[in-house]
Amino acid sequence: MTKTGRPQRGDGADAPPSPKRERKASRSAMPLIFDDDDLSEELSADRKFNWSLARGLEILRAFSGGNASLGNGELAEITKLPKPTISRLTYTLKQLGYLQLNARSGKFEPTPAILALGYPVMSTMKIRMIARDYLQQLANEVGLTVAIGGRDRLGMIYVDASHPSTMMTLRLDVGSRVDIATSAMGRSFMHGISAPERELLLGVIEQRAGDDWPTLRDAIQRSFDEIDRRGFCIVDGEFQEDIRGVGVPLVASDGGAVLALNAAGPRFAATLETLETVVGPRLVHLSRSVAPMLNR
């Protein structure tokens, strides 16, 4: 069965499920930003889940994706929360030092204090420190941005990135987010995770893709086949029309942590032949060199 195939049901699968008591959704439940995997629906009936905390964190998440400054109205539109709720949350986050009010624009901006929330993760991710020189060397040699990324819902977040000094048109950096289904990094990550995890993830992608799923499914499968055959996949113009990239799974030797490596840039920066004969093999070598370090 292919990696994108749906698992078949076994004997007795058609038997009616045992009745379960349906939990009511919390009145505090809300849509979540980047909720590509129906997380908010799953959590809506979870009595242990604290929606007040979730609201505050979603306010901070709203500033990702290039939103450097946002007013209460814009935050309400992004988060789908009532404006009075937004006002209380932004006031609280401002008092805590995570947001500041720009007096000229009247909009809120994140402060460096937010970095303290991510620092424990970044500081303990030793692969970043160990692999950084390798990433920069490869970026300079191939003239593309070379990055490590991990999954965030149905996206991939750059946890480290190195740029060649000669290219200024693709400046995805730490914290940048790319689509998991249409990027080389995302498809490489999906190839690296376990089959059950992959099936669940592909099931959600299928729901989100709708009528586009057959075409997307075939493209994902081709990428999986490429990785099986030569260790890397190439995605040309799917994530973004003028961008092409190479992706490689980065899996710890003990099978635990799964990340992905990619090298990407505008089409004029590298031919498909260069990606296939130079960049892809170099990225595979880099993955094999740093994968054992994921266990440290």
Tens-place pLDDT, residues 264-283: 999 988 899 999 999 999 99
Question: Where, residue-wise, is CATH 1.10.10.10 in the chain?
Answer: 39-112
Give per-residue pLDDT as tens, 222-262: 999 999 999 999 999 898 888 999 999 999 877 778 999 99
- The 10 Å Cβ neighbour count of residue 184 is 33
Radius of gyration of the chain (CA): 21
Q: Please identify, in words, the CATH class of the domain defined by 125-295.
A: alpha beta
Using CA atoms, how far apart are residues 92 and 87, in angstroms rounded to an integer? 9
For residue 57, which amino acid is it? Answer: L
The H or E element spanning position 255 is: none
Under DSSP, is residue 54 helix (H, G, I), strand (E, B) or coil?
A: helix
Question: Cα-Cα-Cα-Cα dihedral of 118, 124, 125, 129, to 10°?
Answer: 110
Q: What is the mean pLDDT of the chain?
A: 82
Question: Fold for domain 39-112?
Answer: Arc Repressor Mutant, subunit A (1.10.10)
pLDDT at site 292 = 83
C-alpha dist (Å) from residue 108 to 79, 85, 88, 115? 15, 15, 13, 16
Which residue intervals of the chain bear CATH 3.30.450.40? Answer: 125-295
3-state SS class at 147: strand
pTM above 0.75, yes or no: no
